[in-house]
Amino acid sequence: MQTTMRSLLDKAREVAATVTDPELPMLTLEDLGLLREVAVLDDSRVEVTITPTYSGCPAMATMRDDLVARLHESGFADVSVKISLHPAWTTDWISDTGKEVLARHGISPPGPAPYRSTRTVLSLLPTRRVVRCPQCGSDDVALTSEFGSTACKAMYRCRACLEPFDHIKEI
């Protein structure tokens, strides 16, 4: 019995780990650090816990549907997805593999998330980051906007190769 549960759990985890982000389909939810927990309960029900990246992230519903669909396809009949709000998602949870995959797909991966004291410091100058152009590798880049095509991205332009690119901003 124990081993059956264990292998079920391994299988459920394996399947859940293959589900990708609808906005960044080269990345799995696991690489993004959104997949917090996969549990198999006594009645063989699978319970997956995910955490939102941004409060308004519209891809959450799709991620949940995809998790349920993928687990159904793999023979898990009863699947539920829980939302975990605490602790809040941080870009530090994106795995090293995830960061490599992002860069390979032309998206600049986030650096370390900023240290937060209890009171946030106002910053009236453009955010200083060490960012390299994912196309040509140059660090001669300029911030175009702190807000991009999705909530999690800022827009940059490379001064060397002149290509625009996205950067996953640190939170």
User: Contact between 120 and another protein (CB under 8 A)?
Assistant: yes
The CA-atom distances, in angstroms, between 170 and each of 9, 70, 93, 116, 162 are 32, 30, 11, 12, 23
Using the minimum distance from each CB to another protein, give the nearer residue, 58 or 75. 58
Distance CA 152, CA 146 (A): 9
Size, binding site for another protein by CB under 8 A: 48
User: Contact between 43 and another protein (CB under 8 A)?
Assistant: no
Using the minimum distance from each CB to another protein, give the nearer residue, 126 or 130. 126
Q: Which two tokens stand for residue 63?
A: 């991620």
User: Contact between 83 and another protein (CB under 8 A)?
Assistant: yes
Using the minimum distance from each CB to another protein, give the nearer residue, 3 or 169. 169
- Nearest-CA neighbor of 11 among 39, 42, 32, 43? 39
Residue type, position 43, single letter: D
Q: Which residues bind another protein (CB under 8 A)?
A: 22-23, 25, 49, 52, 54-62, 64-66, 69, 80-89, 116, 118-120, 122-127, 144-149, 151, 155, 169, 171
